[in-house]
A = this chain, B = another copy of it.
Amino acid sequence: MARKKYQEIAEHLELLVLSGRLKPGDRLPAERQIMEDFDAGRSSVREALFVLQRQGLLTSRPGAVPRVSVPTAEGIFAELSGPVRHYINRPEGLREMQDARALLEIGLARQAAIVATDADIAALEKALDANRNAKDLEQFFQTDVAFHFQIAKISRNSIFAGLNTAFADWLKNQRVQSADTGTSFEDVVRYHSNIFEAIKNHDPEGAANAMDLHLQDVVKRYWQAVLK
């Protein structure tokens, strides 16, 4: 038996959704029904449903029949949080993750400077002000993430928005550590201001550069804190 049974069932059900025969919100057959349809035992059916559920394709509550649901970018990336935690634990893992985030955010800043509308810029300025006026550490973190998220939103691509949120979550620990060095808020806000100004002036290279410097600073402070 080369191909496992649950895979067969999972792929078949997946096709039902992909082909549009089952639309989001529709109710799936009950487990016992699927058992009959595929001539399989309940374990196999359950494992198949389990896979699809973990993929965000369907939600199932006890007592109720499973329903088809739309996978969101956030949900997809959230599923990665487990593996990512381990990946970061590897020797080179964190550095690679930091580089990956940098490539994303720098690219987003560059693009934002190109396509930002007046409304985008206004929203970004609001986020910047909120960050500048943060009263405590927690509020500062929150508005910091919000500022970066606002930049991601300008791309109007939910993948970028989701990735941005995911990175913020994955590297949260880095943020906390870095703050322990006594980094003053003003430094970070100054970087943010530079980024904002470049985007406002529709200067792609300036925005990319400012974001690059910002992230380099964050990474530098983190490693200082760790190695101290």
Contact = CB atoms under 8 A, between A and B. Distances in A.
Interface of A: 14, 17-18, 43, 46-47, 50-51, 54-57, 70-71, 73, 75-76, 79-80, 82-87, 89-90, 92, 96-97, 99-100, 103-104, 106-108, 111, 155, 157-160, 163
Counted per complex, copies of this chain come to 2
Given A106-B107, A107-B103, A80 B76 contact: yes
Contacts of A46: 43, 47
Contact of A18 (B89, B92, B160): B89
Contact of A103 (B70, B85, B87, B111): B111
Contacts of A89: 18
A96 B155 CA distance: 10
Contacts of A54: 51, 54
Nearest to A47: B50
Contacts of A155: 99
Contact of A87 (B50, B73, B82, B86): B73
A117 to B, nearest CB: 17
Contacts of A79: 79-80, 83
